[in-house]
Amino acid sequence: MSEVLSVVKRALQHALQTTRDLSARAPGTVTVQVLCIGATVCLVGRYLLKKRYRLPPGPSALPLIGNLPTIAYGKDPLYITLSRLTEKYGPAITVYFGPVPCVMLNRADVVTEALVQRGGDFSGRPFLYSLGIMSNGFRNILFSSDSRAWKIHRKIAVQALRHYMSGPRMEEVLHNVVSKAIDKMAAERGPLDPHSLTMILMFVMIDMFCFAGNKELDDPKLEQLRDMFEKLTTEAGNGFLEDIIPPLRYFPTKKFRKFVDRLNQFSAYIYEQIDQHRRTFSRDNMRDITDSILLAQMEAEQEEESDDIQFFTNIHVGQTVADLFGGGVDTSRMTLDWGLYYLASFPEVQKRMQAELDAVTGSRLPGCADRTKLPYTEATLYEILRLGSVTPLSVPHRTLSDTSVGGYEVPKDTMVMINLWALSRDPKHWDQPDAFRPERFLDSEGKLIPRPESFMPFSVGRRSCLGEIVAKPELLLIFACIVKRLTLSLAPGFVFDSKPLNTSMIMHLPQPYKMVVSERSPGERV
C-alpha cells in the first residue's frame, strides 16, 4: 500500500510541476490535458487514501446495480434469499442495493450484539428518499433517527397506548368490534375469504382507539380506505428505484407517483381527524390517543423556556398519530391472516385452544384478566408470530458511528437490516423450524417458557416496535374470542401451504385461502 501511495504522490507532483511549467511559458493558460490528468490523479488518490473497512463478506456486486438482479429480483422474496446466503457467508453479510452497501444480520447472536450490546451505534435510520417522503422529512417515530424529537414522541406514544389500549378500555372496544366480525363470519353459508374482514376489523378498532370513531364494519368508506391502505403498504413493501437512482427523484416512476398520491390520501384522512379533535378538544373529556398527543403539544407550547416546542409542530403531531394508526392496522391484520390460516389448517391446535378457553371462561368471552390462565392460547399466538414474521426484515437501521458486529467492521452511516424471518427458522434454535407446534413455547408442566433467544417478532433494543406492549394482548384476545365462538376449517380444494405469496420483497404474506366457519353451540362453549 505504501508503494501505491508513493506512486500517487509522484504523479500528483508531476502534474503540478507540468502545470507550473506551462503557466510560466504561457501565463493564465492550462491545457485540458493537464486538467484531466490532475483531476484523474486526485480522484484515484482520494479513492486509495480512503479508509478501508473489513466489512462482513457477501456475494460479488456489479458496478452501479450491485446485487439487485440476484437478491431483490430473484424467484424468492428478499428475506429468504438472504437467509440462504448465510450458509455460505455467515450470520453477518454485506449486499449492495445498487451502489448502496447494506449489512444484513441473519442470526440471533449478531442481532443481539448489534441492537442490544451496541444499541446506541445501530439506533439510526437510513436517509432513504422514500422514507423521507413517507415521514414528511423524517419527522415521525418510525423513520426518524435516535434524537431528542424521537425520544419525546416515542414516550408520548407509549403512554397513550398504555392508557387507551389496555385493560378494561381495550377489552370493551375489542369485544364490541370482534363480536360483530364474528357475527358476520358466522352468517356466511359458504367458503369465506377472511382477508378483507380482518383488515376492516383492525381499521374499525384502531379508528376507535385513535379517533373515538364509531364506524360499522359495513361502512362503505371503509372499503375505500382498505383498498387505498393495502395498495399503499404493498407498493412500499417492494421498494422504490428512486432510493438508489437519484435522478428519478426529479422524474419519478409511475409507481412512485401513484404511491405518493395514495400517501396523500392517507395523510388527508389523518389530518382531517386531528383537525376535528382540535375543534372539540376538552381537557375534561379526554377521548382517545389523538387527544392525548394534542394535550402534549399544548403543554409543550406553555413551557416558555423549553426548546422542545420545536418538536411539537402540527407535522410532528400528525406523523405520530399516523404512525400509531398505520402500525396498528397493518402488521396486526397480516398476523390475523396468518393466524386464521394456521388455525383452520390445524384443527387439533384449535380444539386444544377451545378446551382451555372453555375451562377458564365458561360461557363468557375471554378478557384481559384471563391472559395468565391461558398458556396454550398464548403459546399458539407466539407460534403464529414466529412463523408469520409479517415484517421479516423489520425497519432498516443506520449506524451512527464506526462500529463492529460479528467480528467485522461497520462504518458510520451504513444501512443495517435484521432478518427476523431467518431468526424464526434458525435450525440451531428451533426443532423442526417449519412445523406449527405451539407446545414448543411451553415447559413440561404446560407453563410458558422464558422468551427464546431467537424469538424476536417485534425486534429488540431501543428501536424495537413500540406497539408490542399492546399488540400481544390485543391479538391474543382477538384469536381467543374467535376460537371461543367459532370452529374454522379450510374450504374444500384448499390445502395448507407455508410458502409465502411472492408479491412483496420484504413482506411475508400467506397464499390466498378460504375457510368454512361454523358457530359453536352454547353447550360447546361451557
Mean pLDDT of 382-406: 95
pLDDT at 28 over 70: no
Q: Which residues pair with 94 in a beta bridge?
A: 103
- Residue 465 labeled ligand binder: yes
pLDDT in tens, 80-104: 999 999 999 999 999 999 899 999 9
- What pLDDT was estimated at residue 37? 55
User: Quick check: 200 pLDDT over 80?
Assistant: yes
> What pLDDT is recorded for position 167?
87
| Arithmetic mean of pLDDT, 47-61 | 79
Place of cell 375534561: 284
pLDDT at 47: 44
pLDDT of residue 45: 47
pLDDT band for position 43 (cuts 50, 70, 90)? very low
Among 336, 465, 389, smallest CA distance to 77 is for 389
Element (H, E) at 89: helix 78-89
Going by pLDDT thresholds of 50, 70 and 90, the confidence category of residue 473 is very high
pTM beyond 0.85: the answer is: yes
Q: What's the pLDDT band for 46 if we cut at 50, 70, 90?
A: very low
What integer pLDDT is reported at residue 185 of this predicted model?
Answer: 95
pLDDT digits (tens, 9 = 90+) for 350-363: 999 999 999 999 98
Which residues have C-beta within 8 Å of that of residue 349, sequence separation ≥ 6?
A: 342, 343, 380, 436, 438
Distance of alpha carbon 195 from alpha carbon 118, whole angstroms: 39
Mean pLDDT of 190-215: 92
DSSP-assigned letter for residue 366:
P
Q: What pLDDT does 5 receive?
A: 47
Residues 6+ apart with CB under 8 A from 346: 436, 496
* The pLDDT value given to residue 223: 83
pLDDT at 1: 46
Lowest mean pLDDT among 280-294, 332-346, 478-492, 500-514: 500-514
- The per-residue pLDDT for 312 is 93
Nearest to 213 by CA among 329, 336, 365: 329
pLDDT on residue 366: 96
Q: How confident is the model at residue 69 (pLDDT cuts 50, 70, 90)?
A: confident
How many angstroms separate the CA atoms of 478 and 326, rounded?
18
CA 384 to chain centre: 17
Tell whether the model's pLDDT for residue 391 goes beyond 80. Answer: yes
